[in-house]
Structure 1
Amino acid sequence: MNDATQSPPSPADADAQRLAALGYESEFKRDMSLWANFSLGFTYLSPVVGVYTLFAASLMAGGPPMIWAFVIAGVGQLLVALVFSEVVAEFPVAGGVYPWARRLWGRKWGWMTGWIYLLALLSTISAVAYGAGPYVAAVFGFASSTTTTILCALGLLLLATVINFGGTKVLSAVAVFGFVAEIIGAVVVGAWLLIANRHHGLGVLFDGFGSQGSHSYLYAFAAASLIGVFQYYGFEACGDVAEEVPDPGRRIPTSMRRTIYIGGAAATAVCLALILSVSDFGAVISGKDADPVTTVLTDAFGSGGARAVLVVVLLSFISCAMSLQAAASRLTYSFARDRMIVGSRVLAAFSERLRVPPNALLLAAVLPGLIIVGSAYSADALVKIISFSTLGIYLAFQMVVLASLRARLRGWRPSGEYRLERWGLPVTIGALVYGIVALVNISWPRTPGTPWYDNYIVLVSGAVVVGAGALYMAVAKPHERGDAPAGDALAASAAQEPSSSPASV
């Protein structure tokens, strides 16, 4: 006789059953804790990398008030993160924005979202590795040049790849270590700068020091605000590894919000400490001091102390590149698992020993490496790579936000563990408005004295990526391959009973 009562499934079994209901049987191991998942998002967002990479360019473009870009972008991207939290709670599948867009809208929309996001991720990996080059030179005491920057970037990329091949446990451990090192470094360095090397009061945060030239200050601030726009993504990486996290419907939304809160606060604090420690804003704005970060650190800590600080900075760059690679490889694997990309059989290969998709990881190393090598032929390569990367990431984000808004207006009611309830519609609309404004700002041409293709490089590169994707879809029809569920958000919400205790904003 069967017992009338049955014990509930274990958490691992419940996660597997839920994934099976979504159409998949995962090969990953759920070895990533809540803090490791948050650390992955944090090290991807990386306050130190974001600030140190663009501090000089943004301070030159807009002066000290550029710091307010962190506040504006932080609020806007928090709205996006809340939208993503609802979606990942209902669809906790590896690959992030690609499966989310596919489930919310359909195959074509999902495929194009994944295509844009993947290329932007690969470009961002190259931007982070390239941005580390000058700091490697400063740490080891050799002159920084285009050639040395490229070689250092390739070396950092290789190291990040080796770490990722260690599997989820190694990735988690290094992500947590990177988070701790970055926070300690940011707090210690920032505190010392404010205590011992502060040259200005808070009033300078409202003084552009003539950075606008003959334009209005709004024009200068819009150009400088790229530092804030570039800073606030990475939270989505928490969802890219959804099949490696226990209880993902609850933990990943929490990790996303923590990434915005803690990462944003840390980035703003780092930027504030650096701004107040710059002795001569005129020298930075005129280009006389082209590397104000190294100048500030050397003044505050001496040459030896500055090198020690830059070691922590390099750890942040390595952790950031590693997290980006993890996100890109999981997206590639998700694409290939659904047979929706060229080379699917190869890219969907999974190592049972390493518990990672090795070929997808290699792709996330080789293509960024080619971008880095190609940067030798472009002036201001870093800013251009970052501009396209940011455009692609934001465009993919807004495609998910738009898909969420469309689904909601057509009757979708999120049924995952995290729900915005009555705030869902206004939050989604706010996220979409912010994203559109950010995309316009990112794409705006600002170098009229250069050839048109250089002035419009961001728009041109974006158009090439979208156009190539559209052509590939029209000819090869990758969205018609495989039988992965698509456009089923409405049916899923109708079939599922809402959980009894949804999370609130």
Structure 2
Amino acid sequence: MDHSHISSPEDDARLEALGVKSDFDRSMSMLENFALGFTYLSPVVGVYTLFDSSLQTGGSPMIWSYVIAGLGQFLVALIFGEVVSQFPISGGIYPWARRLVGRKWSWVTAWVYVWALFTTIAAVATGAAPFLALLTGAPSTPFITTAIALALIIFSTACNLAGTKLLARVAMFGFVCELVGALFVGGYLLVFHRVNSLGSLLDPMNAAPVNGSYLPAFLAASLLGLFSCYGFEACGDVAEEIPNPGKQIPKAMRMTIYIGVGASIFACAALLLAVPNIPAVISGETPNALSDVLLNAFGSTGTKGVAAIVMVSFMSCVLSLQAAVSRLIYSFSRDRMIPGAKALSRISPHSHVPTTALFVAGLVPSAIAVLGFFAADALTTIVSFAVVGIYVAFQMVVAGALYARFRGWKPSGDFTLGRWGTAINIAALIYGVLAIINILWPRTPDAAWYINYSMLIGLVVVVVSALLYLAVCRPHLRGTTGYADAWLISPRKGR
């Protein structure tokens, strides 16, 4: 059945002034847009994926990495809010980089980001397998893990292909389930199973060397916060699918940080205060702290209920990730920047979503997941790139915004930071550069070199491939939409 095209003359006129024609439905509300960002950030996925390893590495104070990353990413979200408010174009990071700096910069930014999202989808889908195995009682073998990952990606693709309305509804369902689940599980643990004092959240215990600094251990464990505090950019990836995006999306981005990071801290604190013997976890005697806490608190039947909530979180996270990367591919293709651009930029007349781009957003992560079945070491190297790739792409936009400011850009959307803009932009860039250095820093000095530098290797391969394609095929010369024009657009005289 054909859906009527929902649009806004004012929003369409705004895009037309930017040289863009949209065929999307503007059927997503601000709350649904926020839900998309929240389920992409996914507090439950972040906490439940890295809780054990971060606790073993840095002890209870690792929870403060959420605060640091949350504050830093809030600065980034403010800059993104200014940019999307002036350039509310689908694809987010790619068109922003194009307008702020230029075509070559945007090509590299988008190439890094698209591969980071592909690998993140594969990693999240694969990470869901142990929880589904716990829920169903199936053995967690490599074959079953891969099969579950593929099934999850196929399900997500089918949901996304149905259109923006279903995407928004599933995102809202995932948001409600995840937030209620996190609050219930965390609240129950705090009331009935708290065994540690609040002071333990400041005590590194035996994670800190006797005569050394605790800082290296904390920085190593801080991957928990760094991994969990992004997702707000997905709100901007669907900018052509929400009415009045210049006002609504910056608000949704900030809500994603407030509520998403807040829920992450609450869930993590509840788990930490319920771990009966944290020194044993740090020493490696009790490696499965998360599952031990859940089994002790909820029993085998109750733990399956928790696993069901976790599975909903993983499913909605994959759905949001795939929606984000498909819009990026679509926006990239609309400017004829990649092979197969004509097909990849085609919008379905029925569902008003980029069908071919969504298939690619399902096929490539599926191939990466299958690679893990045959070569686990290769998958580790590829997936390790995911987090640093996202941070690098973010900072290319943040640096681009600062560059544009120095060229004379004065943000003219509905959301601006006014006279604080430059200072916040510089602070966001400093945070992002330090975060990237921390992410790339070798975590296990005794491991093989290719394990220690897997993130850097992945980043170098992706960036070099982007530069080679740029030099040989010169895709930046295609397309007719504006570029490097942020500082040439005069401030608006109101909406």
C-alpha distance in 2, partners of 1:375/1:468? 22
Assess, with a 3 A threshold, how the Cα gap between structure 1 residues 192 and 489 changes in structure 2: closer, same or farther: same
For the pair 1:476 / 2:476, whether they are aligned, the reply is no
C-alpha distance in 2, partners of 1:56/1:322? 25
Question: Residue 343 of structure 1 is aligned with which of 337, 340, 345?
Answer: 340
Q: Which residue does the alignment assign to 1:435?
A: 432
Q: Which residue does the alignment assign to 2:207?
A: 211
Q: Which residue does the alignment assign to 1:92?
A: 88
8 A Cα contact 1:124 1:385, kept in partner: no
8 A Cα contact 1:61 1:212, kept in partner: no
Equivalent runs, 1:128-167 vs 2, <5 Å: 128-167=124-163
Structure 1 counterpart of 2:215, which letter? L
Q: CA deviation at 1:387?
A: 3.4
Structure 2 counterpart of 1:98, which letter? Y
Q: Which residue does the alignment assign to 2:322?
A: 325
Assess, with a 3 A threshold, how the Cα gap between structure 1 residues 390 and 26 changes in structure 2: closer, same or farther: same
Deviations 1:408-452 (CA, angstroms, capped at 9, x unpaired)? 111110000000001101100000000000000000112222222
Q: Which residue does the alignment assign to 1:238?
A: 235
For the pair 1:101 / 2:97, whether they are aligned, the reply is yes
Q: Which residue does the alignment assign to 1:390?
A: 387
For the pair 1:310 / 2:307, whether they are aligned, the reply is yes
Q: Which residue does the alignment assign to 1:255?
A: 252
Equivalent runs, 1:7-406 vs 2, <5 Å: 12-213=8-209, 216-377=213-374, 384=381, 387-406=384-403
Deviations 1:18-48 (CA, angstroms, capped at 9, x unpaired)? 1111111101010000100000000000100
Structure 1 counterpart of 2:17, which letter? A
8 A Cα contact 2:384 2:458, kept in partner: no
For the pair 1:497 / 2:492, whether they are aligned, the reply is yes
Q: CA deviation at 1:369?
A: 1.0
C-alpha distance in 2, partners of 1:382/1:134? 17
Q: CA deviation at 1:159?
A: 1.2
Q: CA deviation at 1:154?
A: 1.3
C-alpha distance in 2, partners of 1:174/1:375? 28
Deviations 1:341-384 (CA, angstroms, capped at 9, x unpaired)? 12111211221112111110011111111111222355578875
The gaps in structure 2 that reach 5 residues or longer are: 1-5
8 A Cα contact 2:235 2:253, kept in partner: yes
Q: Which residue does the alignment assign to 2:484?
A: 487
More displaced, 235-244 or 17-26? 17-26
Structure 2 counterpart of 1:130, which letter? T
Q: Which residue does the alignment assign to 1:3?
A: none
More displaced, 307-316 or 289-298? 289-298
8 A Cα contact 2:33 2:242, kept in partner: yes
Q: CA deviation at 1:148?
A: 2.1
C-alpha distance in 2, partners of 1:145/1:224? 27
C-alpha distance in 2, partners of 1:425/1:443? 27
Aligned residues: CA RMSD: 1.6
8 A Cα contact 1:230 1:386, kept in partner: no
Name the SS of the counterpart of 1:487 in structure 2: coil
Aligned residues: 489
Assess, with a 3 A threshold, how the Cα gap between structure 1 residues 204 and 431 changes in structure 2: closer, same or farther: same
Name the SS of the counterpart of 2:8 in structure 1: helix
Q: CA deviation at 1:57?
A: 1.1
Assess, with a 3 A threshold, how the Cα gap between structure 1 residues 39 and 381 changes in structure 2: closer, same or farther: farther
8 A Cα contact 1:34 1:245, kept in partner: yes
Name the SS of the counterpart of 1:192 in structure 2: helix
Assess, with a 3 A threshold, how the Cα gap between structure 1 residues 183 and 381 changes in structure 2: closer, same or farther: farther
Q: CA deviation at 1:290?
A: 2.9
Structure 1 counterpart of 2:392, which letter? L
8 A Cα contact 2:124 2:318, kept in partner: yes
Assess, with a 3 A threshold, how the Cα gap between structure 1 residues 475 and 332 changes in structure 2: closer, same or farther: same
8 A Cα contact 2:368 2:379, kept in partner: no
C-alpha distance in 2, partners of 1:153/1:90? 38
C-alpha distance in 1, partners of 2:158/2:422? 43
8 A Cα contact 1:415 1:499, kept in partner: no
Deviations 1:469-490 (CA, angstroms, capped at 9, x unpaired)? 0000000011111112100101
TM-score by length of 1: 0.94
